[in-house]
Structure 1
Amino acid sequence: MSTFAEIYQKIEQYSTIILHRHTSPDPDALGSQAGLARSLKLRFPDKRILCAGENDEGDLAWINRMDPVTKADYQGALVITTDTGNTARISNKLYDQGDFLIKIDHHPDVEPYADMSYVDDQAPAASQIIADFLAAEKMPITAEVAYPLYAGIVGDTGRFMYPETTEHTFSVVAKLASTGINITEIARNISDVTFVQAKLQADVLDYMEVDPSGAAYAILSQAALEKLGVDSNQASCTVSTPGRIKDIIAWNVFVEKPDGTYRVHYRSKGPVINELAAKHDGGGHALASGANAQDLAEVKQIFAELVQVTKEYQEAHE
């Protein structure tokens, strides 16, 4: 694994730097990408710094918006991915058209796809790694830089509830908050939902099927989303809803996309689920991951796998 100093030295060598994150982004994907990009622009005003993606920010566009990027921009460019464990999840497939590729991530390194990488799977958020990198290399951390990084850490720690949250995490967010960012506004932006999204959160419980093992799933069809005027990105607000139920310890929320495939959300209170996600063009954390399903047959297979690991978890903890 490369060091922060080595990554910084590589950054110094390029006049164009293009940053990617994962598709269907969460606050950490956008926050780590934006925080690094904004600091680089301040440190290197003569370099071209671009944020690349598929314009799928949805309700999270308040964190960052993508720049127009063409294939020609990658000629001789340095490409950096943040918060993306495997190539299948990189948003904008031009990422491999550059001269050199760096991976900065906090997911298990199941696919070491880059020329240089810094992966810390003990860090609760890629945004925390970026904040550490900026501090170590004495890069600018202004309010503009701190805002998306703070949002990313809040998002991926579940508002500091997840077990990866450490004393160091709090020291990092304290430094970010000291720049004068509006932390109340960030918390509200992450937690607020529209009225129709709130209705969808209620509907997901009606669709929920619970196995005796404690595994559960719900399928949100395009018809259900269209009825409320909600798109598949906005439907991500439902993912944490089943976790409020005491008897559910692991769950899937399947969101049908317009093309008939499914975005798959995995969440868990104990069973490790990121290895399951990796089988289905996805990945993530031990207790929170994402994947894809091509049809209802794969949906059925995914839930059967979740039931199995949940049973094994229950048996091991009896």
Structure 2
Amino acid sequence: MFKDILAKIQDYQTIIIHRHQRPDPDALGSQLGLREIIRHNFPDKTVLATGFSEPSLSWMAEMDAVEDIHYAGALVIVTDTANQERIDDSRYTKGAFLIKIDHHPNNDGYGDITYVDTSAASASEIISEFALSTNLKLTDEAARLLYAGIVGDTGRFLYPATSAKTMRLAAELREFPVDFAKLARQMDSFPLKIAKLQGYIFDNLEISDAGAARVTLTQEALKAFDVTEAESSAIVGLPGKIDTIEAWAIFVEQADKESYRVRLRSKNTVINTIAQNHEGGGHPFASGANSYSVEENDQIFQEINAAIKENRRDV
């Protein structure tokens, strides 16, 4: 199917690339890495990346100013986005042809071409494989962006989805003259306020006997630490560093104080089915959901406990 995607890229003069809301390094790495690849290999084409410019990830690259007129007769590509409601910039349907490239479970198979590889550890891995297998030339900047995306979604190659292919593609990217040590420092460093927030997380973490954990970040807590919701994602993996914790939830109270963004993570217990019960989804061990009350938060926590116990019975 990579040949079909390349053929469509060759066919269209204007290409607009989308990704999901609240971007992480993989969303930006795949989106902007693909933009860089197409621009370099097809310099006569207009290639634009749209979406919110996340300040905490401005070191990766900037978004383009995309006007409505650009969508007329354009090819639209959406990377790293499982569900249509999560696509950043609702104009993705305004083009002439739509391609989805993703690595999440394909519960929403939108697009005229849908390429989903759930065995890939990241969308950036897929874009890397696409470029290398179709003999498109990579640039230093494309390698930097794609490597950042792979590192981000694999948790620095620690997560279970990391495969031999992941490592091979990362090695190909490492051949480019990029300061990867600097990149690693950028991805591993955080402001002092995030360090203080980490202390709050450990102080307020609730851990069950089964190994489920949860913590709630209220609007008051976010304001006290001067942390945005996007910046709070930096602590999502923190509870997993405790050896007795198997799966956990971070409940982030929204500005309306009537709903919560739920970040779910696990070491070995499948939790995306829990996310699906609460307007969410994602990977088996890394998902997101929505909650609309403290009672629903409690329900999600109990579902995590039950899932851990069931998983242990099955082992």
User: Which whole-Å CA distance do the structure 2 matches of 1:16 and 1:193 have between them?
Assistant: 37
**Alignment partner of 1:122 out of 116, 119, 122:** 119
Counterpart amino acid of 2:109? P
Partner of residue 299 from structure 2, selected from 292, 298, 301: 301
**Alpha-carbon distance between aligned partners in 1 of 2:211 and 2:251, rounded to the nearest angstrom:** 17
CA-to-aligned-CA distance 1:61-90 (integer Å, 9 cap, x gap): 211222122333222211111111111221
The CA deviation string for residues 20-59 of structure 1, in whole angstroms up to 9 with x for no partner, is: 111111111110111100011111122111111123x231
- Tell whether the 8 Å contact from 1:125 to 1:157 is kept in structure 2 after alignment: yes
Instruction: Show the counterpart of 1:97.
Output: 94
- Aligned with 1:182 (options 179, 187, 201): 179
Alignment of 1:272-311 (within 5 A): 272-311=270-309
Change (3 A) 1:280 1:92: farther
Superposed, 1:13-24 pairs within 5 Å as: 13-24=11-22
Report the more deviating stretch, 288-297 or 232-241. 288-297
Q: For this pair of structures, how many residues does the alignment match?
A: 314
1:1-318 equivalent positions in 2, closer than 5 A: 3-55=1-53, 57-260=54-257, 261-317=259-315
Q: Could you tell me the TM-score, scaled by structure 2's length?
A: 0.95
Percent identity for Structure 1 against Structure 2: 46
Residue 305 of structure 1 deviates from its aligned partner by 2.2
Contact persistence 2:98–2:113 (CA under 8 A): yes
Tell me which amino acid in the other structure corresponds to 2:261.
Answer: R
Closer, same or farther: CA 220–69 of 1 in aligned 2, 3 Å: same
How far is 1:271 from its partner? 0.8
Quote how far apart the aligned CAs of 1:243 are.
Answer: 0.5
Q: 1:162 to 1:73 in 2, by over 3 A?
A: same
Structure 2: gaps of 5 or more residues: none
| Cα distance between partner residues in 1 of 2:292 and 2:88 | 18
| Native 8 Å contact 1:274 1:288 kept in 2 | yes
Contact 2:40 2:139 in 1 (8 A): no
Instruction: Classify 1:298/1:165 alpha carbon distance in 2 versus 1 (closer, same or farther; 3 Å).
Output: same
Distance 2:55 2:293 in 1: 24
* CA drift at 1:212: 2.1
One-letter amino acid matched to 2:12: Y
Aligned residue identity for 1:272: V
Q: Residue deviations 1:145-171, cap 9 Å, x none?
A: 100100011111111112222222222
Cα distance between partner residues in 2 of 1:159 and 1:41: 28
Gaps of 5+ in 1: none
User: Root-mean-square deviation (CA), in Å?
Assistant: 1.5
Paired residue secondary structure (1:233): helix
The answer (yes or no) to whether the contact 1:146–1:177 under 8 Å persists in 2 is yes
Does the aligned pair in 2 maintain the 1:32–1:152 contact within 8 Å?
Answer: yes
Q: Which moved more, 1:299-308 or 1:125-134?
A: 299-308
Task: State the 1:279 CA deviation.
Answer: 3.0
Please tell me the residue identity of whatever aligns with 1:104: I
> SS where residue 229 of structure 2 aligns?
coil
Which residue type is aligned with residue 87 of structure 1?
Q
Structure 2 counterpart of 1:10, one-letter code? K
Shift of 1:308: 2.0
Name the SS for the 1:155 alignment partner: helix
Q: CA deviation at 1:121?
A: 0.5
Would you say the 8 A contact 1:265–1:289 is kept in 2? yes
The aligned amino acid for 1:298 is E
